[in-house]
Each structure stands twice: as C-alpha cells, then as structure tokens.
Structure 1
Amino acid sequence: MSATARAEPPKLAVFDLEMIDTSLQGEVSGPRADEQARLMHVGDQVRKELGESGKFRVLDIAPVNAAAHGSNLQACGGCDLKLAGELGADLEITGVVQKVSNLILNINLYLRDVHSGQLLAAASADMRGNTDESWARATGYLVRNRLLAPNYGAPQPQ
C-alpha cells in the first residue's frame, strides 16, 4: 500500500440515529417533536466532530437519507451496509437512543466496516435527563472517548 493511499482517511457514512421509546409517555403520546429534532442534531454532531478530527472523510448521506429513514437500520438485515456502500463508504455508523423514561436514556453507536460487514466498535452512554444538553454531552463523550480514542474502534494509521 502506498503512502498516499495510507494517508487518505476512510470514507465514513454516519446515519441519523433512531429512537426506541419504551416509556409510558411514548406509548401513550407517540413520538415527540423535540426528541425527533434531537435525533437529527445528534447525527449532525457526530458527523461534525468526526469530520473535524481529520481521521475520517465524512460523506453526505442525502442521496440515501430517505431510504435510511424508511428502514429500521438496526433490524433490516444489512440494508445500512448496502446504503453506505451506495455512497462509496468504507465505514458506517448507525445508532439508537433508548428511552426508558424522561430521566433514563441511553445512546448507542455502532461502527461497521462496509466491505466486510464486521462490527468494529459499539459505544454506549447512559444519560440522565431528556434535554438538548444531556444528549449533546453524551454524544460528545462517545465521540471523544470511544470513537476517536486510540485503540478503540476506529482504524488507526499504520
């Protein structure tokens, strides 16, 4: 492998996160607009922070975004890998926010190799409180201390 090829960061597709709401409120009232907006913001935050790190070339997901939103990326039998492949990605990230209640939530991010389908990293953080700040802080923690941490998940240059 040439030095030029090695220096090129992997192409990464970061899909918008999905929500699993098992709270009583979610069962009674259905999806909340503020939480749907937070899902979009979290995806944007992951794309921005990973792109700024220089370790990845973050791809625009717009060409497959409608198809991604029409699928359950966690249970579609690999459609996430197919969609990321259509973008020319080497790696892809999907994620889910699990809501037990307005006080107890969890963010999970999954980094996969698009070519092999192999799960390279799974990162999870609990958060207390259903606010813009709690979601942003938990997401920032996962990016900094899991996805960008040496020897954790992301392929490191040789």
Structure 2
Amino acid sequence: MLVLRALSALAILPALAALPAGSSAQAASSPAAVFAIELAEPGVIGPRPLKPDEARRLALATEALRREVAGRGLDPVDLAPQAAAIRRDAPLYKCEGCAEKIAQAAGAALVVYGYVQRSAPQVLNMNITITDVASGKVLRGGQVVIQGDTDETWLHGVRSLVKNRLFAEPLPNRS
C-alpha cells in the first residue's frame, strides 16, 4: 500500500516543462544527473555498512529511477567521473547544494536524487526530488510511504513517485 504526498512544486524549467507525457514521440531531452538513492538514518551517528538487502534494494530503486526518468525525456549523464566527489559529499540529500555542483561538473541541467528512510521495520518513506542545477531550486518532488520492505514495494514506490508526482500531468507551461 502506498500513500503519496506532494512537495510544493516551484516554477518548472522549460526543460522539465517540455517533457513528454508518456507519448512515444520524445521531446528534446534534458541532461540530468540521476544520483543513487540513499538510505537516511536520522538516529544513526556516522556511516554504517549497508545490510545486503538494503544495498540491493537501493541499487534496484536507483536503476528503476534512471529508467523511469529516461523514459520521460531526461537524459541521464555519466556520473562515474564524479565518483570521488559523490563519496566525499554523501549523503547528497542533506549536503546543501553539493549535488548541483557535482551535476554541473557532469554537464547536467537537472539533478534527480532521493532517499529512503525507515519509519518502522515494514514502513519506509521514499523521497525523490528534481532540482535545477543553475539555481538549486526544487522543480518537482514527492514522497511515498512504502508499507512492506520488499523489492516489489520499493520498485512500485519509485514508479508511483515518478508517474504521480515528478511527471504528473498537467506540467506547467505545456500546451
């Protein structure tokens, strides 16, 4: 079961407004830095090694996010050359602008990043945000509550967020 909550959407970049809405005709793609989804653990001091299931699900969710945004007109850029900066600045969801700097170095116009936070053993919150590299402003974002800690619930969470929050119709400034 998923519960969606939208974050307030600010002005949308023309690049985001030009995204196709599920049609087979693709608009000009916008380069986007799609970062790995991270695990947020507010009660834990310092980093800890991920459990095997957590690492696998984060990788599955990240790959699903990349596929979903690419299928909607964003062109994921190669972030491998920025691997050291990503490791240095992680977690990106709370580094206050470092993701935009890394994305700019990679040639991206947009930043897509997210995190999962465990509320209870079988309840997780997934947050995904799209920001503008130049201004750092949030263009679109959303949160989904995932009930059930399985591969399928995580993947369903990503697909639901992308469809119902990040690329939901109507997109502003689009005719």
Gaps of 5+ in 1: 1-5
Q: Which residue of 2 aligns with 1:92?
A: 111
Query: Do the aligned partners of 1:12 and 1:92 also contact (CA within 8 Å) in 2?
Result: yes
Identity percentage of aligned residues: 33
Which deviates further from its counterpart, 102-111 or 57-66? 57-66
Query: Do the aligned partners of 1:22 and 1:99 also contact (CA within 8 Å) in 2?
Result: no
Q: 1 CA distance for matches of 2:71 and 2:56? A: 22
Gaps of 5+ in 2: 1-17, 19-26
Q: State the AA in 1 paired with 2:39.
A: M
Deviations 1:13-49 (A, max 9, x none): 110011123689xxxx963111112112111111111
Larger helix proportion of the pair: 1
Q: Which residue of 1 aligns with 2:51?
A: 32
Q: State the AA in 1 paired with 2:77.
A: L
Task: Give the total of aligned pairs.
Answer: 146
Q: CA deviation at 1:96?
A: 0.7
RMSD: 2.3
The answer to whether the aligner puts 1:11 opposite 2:10 as a matched pair is: no
Q: 2 CA distance for matches of 1:48 and 1:68? A: 21
The normalised TM-score by structure 2 is 0.74
Q: Secondary structure at the match of 2:143?
A: strand
Q: Which residue of 2 aligns with 1:63?
A: 81
Q: Which residue of 1 aligns with 2:23?
A: none
